[in-house]
Amino acid sequence: MGHLQNVHLLSIIIKHEKYYRYPYVGKMGSISYSSGTDMREQYDAIVVGGGNAALCMTLSAHDNGARVLVLEAAPREGRGGNSRFAGTVFRASHTGMGQVNACFVQKPWRMLHCATCCHTRTKIIAMIFAKPRMVGMTNISRRL
């Protein structure tokens, strides 16, 4: 009888192992910090999300010395949020073609010219050289 009781107790411990591992599971507003804080999953920053903003946040926090946990809802193959599906065209103010050009890691364009057009707005005219010879482009915006 005593033996059976021990088995029963063991099964209870196994069943509730997760509560031993995380003893402070509670409802909102009922968290206890009274003891055993060394067993908590503690980080400096918990980033919830896995898209562009989340990852920039993650890298920035890590750069600044934080111990970071990233919570991605998706499995690894589905990570990246809507940023993964987005067109990822960025708009940012810049000082001109020199600054823009410096941002490119690889330069598929051998030559880039910046020219201003009417309406005092800057248009960037890309003259594109591809493989053996120049790939021509028509002025699409005029056609419209």
Name residues contacting other proteins, limited to 110-139 (CB under 8 A): 112, 117, 121-128, 130, 133-139
Residue with Cβ nearer other proteins (5 or 93)? 93
The answer to whether 56 contacts other proteins (rule: CB under 8 A) is yes
Smallest gap from Cβ 9 to other proteins, in A, equals: 21
The answer to whether 35 contacts other proteins (rule: CB under 8 A) is no
Smallest gap from Cβ 76 to other proteins, in A, equals: 5
Smallest gap from Cβ 112 to other proteins, in A, equals: 7
Task: Report the C-alpha gap between 1 and 45 in whole angstroms.
Answer: 50
Task: Report the C-alpha gap between 119 and 100 in whole angstroms.
Answer: 21
Task: Please select the residue that binds other proteins; options are 9, 25, 98, 110, rule is CB under 8 A.
Answer: 25
Residues in contact with other proteins, counted by CB under 8 A, come to a total of 89
Smallest gap from Cβ 11 to other proteins, in A, equals: 16
Return the closest-CA partner of residue 43 out of 59, 24, 62. Answer: 62
Return the closest-CA partner of residue 108 out of 128, 80, 93, 124. Answer: 128
Task: Please select the residue that binds other proteins; options are 12, 13, 44, 98, rule is CB under 8 A.
Answer: 44
Mark residues 65-104: x for contact with other proteins by CB under 8 A, - for none: xxxxxxxxxxxx-xxxxxxxxxxxxxxxxxx---xx--xx
Residue 78 DSSP one-character state:
G
Return the closest-CA partner of residue 71 out of 41, 104, 105, 39. Answer: 41
Task: Report the C-alpha gap between 112 and 129 in whole angstroms.
Answer: 10
> Residue 11, Cα to own-chain centre: how many angstroms?
42
